[in-house]
Amino acid sequence: MAVCVAVIAKENYPLYIRSVPTENELKFHYMVHTSLDVVDEKISAMGKALVDQRELYLGLLYPTEDYKVYGYVTNSKVKFVMVVDSSNTALRDNEIRSMFRKLHNSYTDVMCNPFYNPGDRIQSRAFDSMVTSMMIQVC
Amino acid sequence: MEGLTLSDAEQKYYSDLFSYCDIESTKKVAANGRVLELFRAAQLPSDVVLQIMELCGATRLGYFGRSQFYIALKLVAVAQSGFPLRVESINTVKDLPLPRFVASKNEQESRHAASYSSDSENQGSYSGVIPPPPGRGQVKKGSVSHDTVQSRTSTDQQEPASPVVSPQQSPPTSPHTWRKHNRHPSGGNGERPLAGPGPFWSPFGDAQSGSAAGDAMWSGHSPPPPQENWVSFADTPPTSTLLTMHPASVQDQTTVRTVASATTANEIRRQSSSYDDPWKITDEQRQYYVNQFKTIQPDLNGFIPGSAAKEFFTKSKLPILELSHIWELSDFDKDGALTLDEFCAAFHLVVARKNGYDLPEKLPESLMPKLIDLEDSADVGDQTGEVGYSGSPAEAPPSKSPSMPSLNQTWPEMNQSSEQWETFSERSSSSQTLTQFDSNIAPADPDTAIVHPVPIRMTPSKIHMQEMELKRTGSDHTNPTSPLLVKTSDLSEENKINSSVKFASGNTVDGYSSSDSFTSDPEQIGNNVTRQRSHSGTSPDNTAPPPPPPRPQPSHSRSSSLDMNRTFTVTTDLYIHTGQQQAGVVAHPPAVPPRPQPSQAPGPTVHRPVDADGMITHTSTSPQQIPEQPNFADFSQFEVFAASNVNEEQDDEAEKHPEVLPVEKASDPASSLRVAKTDSKIEEKTAASAPANVGKGTTPLAPPPKPVRRRLKSEDELRPEVDEHTQKTGVLAGVLASQPSIPRSVGKDKKAIQASIRRNKETNTVLARLNSELQQQLKDVLEERISLEVQLEQLRPFSHL
């Protein structure tokens, strides 16, 4: 049910970004980019604690009038950012968490591929299909 | 528009269709023309079509937006299923099969309807698969395959049951799939090679060989621009050439698919199984792959690590992206390594790709590693085909370096064998697919097996308990010593202070439940000795479970575990100060309560034999130190012991022990401990220990006081002293090195000390008991006396008489 899904590398460049409404993609790109600041802020906030104690799921990063942005960060500082439609009120936190979990699993599968060089853009079809399944159902 | 909920399959299917209709690539509007054609292909009465259009709002809007289109499609499905066309029916009708756009075969539609519902998912996923999958293999000899396929298509399918999906446009990511397929348009749609899609279908538990064939055929369509095919879709009859199949394939696919599914899934399966599976590996190929596998990994049951596989497949000069995709497909268990099966599948895909076949979206059935033997004979047959690749490409010697040339050589051979592939019937994927999914479950990859954590006993081991019991019972000193001895030996092996300390010490501590912790204390106190002891104690457990909580020892006045704990804490602190080298030492926070061995305190002056007596004497000599023992006892004891031991055994040894201990042990906890202890024992005159640490060659007794005093100064001084010690130890190390028994002796010291402690305690107990008894006797006697006196008084008058 996401409108846009992005995978950001540790150095804050995108490894994968995809939005459903193919038009106006730039807007989503910008939203994701701005959300990175919030992600960093959240990471540093609990930076005092050990990394283990840090939750991977960051939760709602910031809401706009149309969209809500959720964040998730892995232990290797790879960030997943998801933009969902605000009108999708049915989306519960657990669902977002499960979506991030799926993302994370798919991401690790991509990583396991020896032909994938960390830092490259993610071009895995399996990953694509998984993201597609998560994207908002057009209607 | 009413809210429309689409399943994944539907979503994909619809989006594909939309893409198909979206000739203007506006992504928003479906060309009316196309849409109408599509609807016409749905074989619905025109009025129904009109109704649909009206319902979806297209007529209102004048064009087909995406949502309208989707709703229309859904309505088509509704209509085809026979449900009344209602706006509500869009969402109310459950399990609506995907709308079928077929040029003909109305009768099959009904059947398909049912199957569609079940297959919808497959279709959906299939549509995602659009890229010509298995068709690849079939492409080679399209005609051949077609023929075979045709036979397979069995019943009515005449149309290639390629997934309804709007193939061409859908997978933008796999443009290469549309690469020229040499597929020859099969004669009839029915001939569409099912084999191709077969493998794909199977994974979807789809028994529609027909559709698979259609797919294959579909993929077989080579270059003809999809659009063209699509355009003709309404027109091209199923029997049209493959080229035009695409459009027709859409229809055909649906129909074929439905037919296949509808009619007799089993039949189809069986037939498909007999079909030529383009992805099936022939024996020759299999053998070749196995040989190649061996070059990388001699053990056929082993794994090829990802890096090696990457190297190997990179030689095939395929683009990294494709190799990446091949890996994704073939690494079934996602473990980053390839088993033999996975490797064969990957190799097969590479070969196929090299020959021009497009990569499938999903791993073909035949290439899936058989993790669970569930398929029917047909599948097995197919699978076994991979075995025994005789006459494998002789020109392809299994060697990595020349692999490339050899691979290239094999390509043509592969091509030749492609025929075989095509002749293979499509696997009875359906049956397999259902089961295949099961195989997806946890591939039994031993390498990927979860490493079971070594169970660590968290409770005292039996042995340990026994030891503790022995000690508790106050058996002889030997008991404690024996474990101690054992421990020391173990200690010398490892320095698992934490665990060992906990346990081993138990031995030394009498009846200390907390002996575990106690042992830790004495170990710390006893420097390496103690540590060793604890280690040895725990050696039986090795992993030494955490020691049980210290038990209160009210009976033991002196060496109470609590005291020991205190002592250890002190020692630890001191140790830390002295730049502890071992974290383990720190880990003994609760520390064994300092053993009140005041007797040992005065050690320096007394040459204490390593026995209880000595200890006792020591205690007697320095009673005043007893109260201070809690914090110092351990140190003094051990140090004294060390000193005494040294005296007893070897002057140098004893001293060296402490020094050696630090030397021996990576960390110099012993010495530092000793140093720390000495510090803590400021009040005590554990000179004996000090000298031992100092390693002065002089009589251990004499020097001890001095170093102790020195240490009393400050902890800081400890460091230099430690350094001194270390230096001395270094000097003595050489000598000590020649003394293998040093650790043991040190351990013995500890043991001796502990033994003496135990003995003292026993003595205490005995004396106490004796005391009580005597007291009792005294009371009795007094009573008697009183009674006698009374009697006397009573009798006195008589006496006077």
In tens, the pLDDT along A69-94 reads: 888 888 888 889 888 887 766 667 88
Is there a contact between B310 and A112 if contact means CB atoms under 8 Å apart?
A: no
The beta-carbon neighbor of A125 closest among B307, B309, B361 is B361
Distance spanning both ends of chain B, measured CA to CA: 136
Is there a contact between B11 and A22 if contact means CB atoms under 8 Å apart?
A: no
Is there a contact between B173 and A125 if contact means CB atoms under 8 Å apart?
A: yes
Task: Give strand ranges (E) for B322-457.
Answer: 337-338
In tens, the pLDDT along B172-192 reads: 443 443 344 444 444 444 333
Strand bridging mode B304-305 / B64-65: unpaired
Return the pLDDT at B27.
Answer: 53
Is there a contact between A114 and B310 if contact means CB atoms under 8 Å apart?
A: yes
CA B465, distance to chain mean position in Å, is 34
Residue B242: pLDDT over 80: no
Whether residue B593 contacts residue B509, with contact meaning beta carbons closer than 8 Å, is answered with no
pTM for the full predicted model: 0.33
The beta-carbon neighbor of A115 closest among B15, B174, B327 is B327
Return the pLDDT at B81.
Answer: 75
Q: How many CA atoms lie within 13 A of A45 on its CB side?
A: 8
With a pLDDT cut of 90, the percent of chain B lying above it is 5
Interface of B with A (CB under 8 A): 1, 3-6, 8, 11, 15, 27, 66-67, 70, 128, 173-174, 306-307, 309-310, 313, 320-321, 323-325, 327-328, 331, 334-336, 361
Is there a contact between A138 and B334 if contact means CB atoms under 8 Å apart?
A: no
Is there a contact between B323 and A115 if contact means CB atoms under 8 Å apart?
A: yes
Q: To the nearest whole angstrom, how far is the Cα of B216 from the nearest Cα of chain A?
A: 20
For chain B, the farthest-separated pair of C-alpha atoms sits apart, in whole angstroms, at 155
Q: For A138, which residue in chain B has the nearest alpha carbon? A: B67
Q: Six-digit token pair at B782?
A: 């007094």
Q: Specify the fold of A2-134.
A: Beta-Lactamase (3.30.450)
* Top-confidence range, B141-150, B369-378, B711-720, B765-774: B765-774
Return the pLDDT at B546.
Answer: 59
Residue B366: pLDDT over 90: no
Whether residue B480 contacts residue B466, with contact meaning beta carbons closer than 8 Å, is answered with no
The beta-carbon neighbor of A128 closest among B67, B173, B336 is B173
Task: Check CB contact of A90 with chain B, cutoff 8 Å.
Answer: no
In tens, the pLDDT along B86-106 reads: 666 666 655 556 666 665 434
The beta-carbon neighbor of A114 closest among B3, B4, B336 is B336
Return the pLDDT at B787.
Answer: 94
In tens, the pLDDT along A24-64 reads: 788 888 888 888 888 888 888 766 655 555 678 888 888 88
Give mean pLDDT, residues B71-84: 75
Whether residue B545 contacts residue B459, with contact meaning beta carbons closer than 8 Å, is answered with yes
Give mean pLDDT, residues B597-624: 44
* Top-confidence range, B36-40, B113-117, B258-262, B761-765: B761-765
In tens, the pLDDT along B558-567 reads: 544 454 544 4
Return the pLDDT at A87.
Answer: 76
Q: To the nearest whole angstrom, how far is the Cα of B130 from the nearest Cα of chain A?
A: 12
Q: To the nearest whole angstrom, how far is the Cα of A45 from the nearest Cα of chain B?
A: 30
In tens, the pLDDT along B254-282 reads: 444 444 444 444 444 444 444 456 677 78
Res. B776 pLDDT band, cuts 50 70 90: very high
Return the pLDDT at A86.
Answer: 77
Q: For A20, which residue in chain B has the nearest alpha carbon? A: B27
* Other Cβ atoms within 10 Å of B627 Cβ, number: 12
Residue B305 pairs in a beta bridge with: B337
In tens, the pLDDT along B533-547 reads: 444 444 444 555 656
Residue A14 pairs in a beta bridge with: A8
Give mean pLDDT, residues B465-474: 56
Q: To the nearest whole angstrom, how far is the Cα of B498 from the nearest Cα of chain A?
A: 23
Whether residue A72 contacts residue A80, with contact meaning beta carbons closer than 8 Å, is answered with yes
Res. B763 pLDDT band, cuts 50 70 90: very high
Return the pLDDT at B594.
Answer: 55
Give mean pLDDT, residues A99-128: 86
Return the pLDDT at A57.
Answer: 83
Return the pLDDT at B758.
Answer: 93
Return the pLDDT at B45.
Answer: 76
Return the pLDDT at B347.
Answer: 85
Strand bridging mode A2-8 / B337-338: unpaired
Q: For A128, which residue in chain B has the nearest alpha carbon? A: B173
Buried residues in B331-368 as b, exposed as e (16+ CB within 10 A): bbbbbbbbbbbbbbbbbbbbbbbbbbbbbbbbbbbbbb
With a pLDDT cut of 90, the percent of chain A lying above it is 0
Return the pLDDT at B129.
Answer: 38
Return the pLDDT at A116.
Answer: 84
Mean pLDDT computed over every residue of chain B: 55
Res. B769 pLDDT band, cuts 50 70 90: very high
Q: To the nearest whole angstrom, how far is the Cα of B110 from the nearest Cα of chain A?
A: 27
Whether residue B179 contacts residue B237, with contact meaning beta carbons closer than 8 Å, is answered with no
Whether residue B510 contacts residue B761, with contact meaning beta carbons closer than 8 Å, is answered with yes
Res. B301 pLDDT band, cuts 50 70 90: confident
Q: Which residues of B touch A109 (CB under 8 A)?
A: 328, 334
> Among residues 91-130 of chain A, which lie with CB inside 8 Å of chain B?
109, 112-116, 123-126, 128-129
Return the pLDDT at B778.
Answer: 95
Q: Which residues of A touch B324 (CB under 8 A)?
A: 113, 115-116, 123-124
Is there a contact between B328 and A113 if contact means CB atoms under 8 Å apart?
A: yes
In tens, the pLDDT along B442-457 reads: 444 455 556 666 666 6
B523 phi and psi angles, rounded to 5 deg: -65, -45
In tens, the pLDDT along B193-216 reads: 434 433 433 334 343 433 434 443
Task: Select the residue from B328, B335, B447 to test the A interface by mutation, using most A Cβ atoms within 10 A.
Answer: B328
Return the pLDDT at B150.
Answer: 42
The beta-carbon neighbor of A115 closest among B6, B15, B324 is B324
Res. B237 pLDDT band, cuts 50 70 90: very low
**CA-based nearest residue to B695, from B726, B664, B737, B649:** B726
Is there a contact between B310 and A128 if contact means CB atoms under 8 Å apart?
A: no
Res. B790 pLDDT band, cuts 50 70 90: very high
Whether residue B215 contacts residue B128, with contact meaning beta carbons closer than 8 Å, is answered with no
| Domain range summary for chain A, segments of one domain joined by + | 2-134
Whether residue B291 contacts residue B398, with contact meaning beta carbons closer than 8 Å, is answered with yes
Q: To the nearest whole angstrom, how far is the Cα of B125 from the nearest Cα of chain A?
A: 10
Q: Which residues of A touch B175 (CB under 8 A)?
A: none
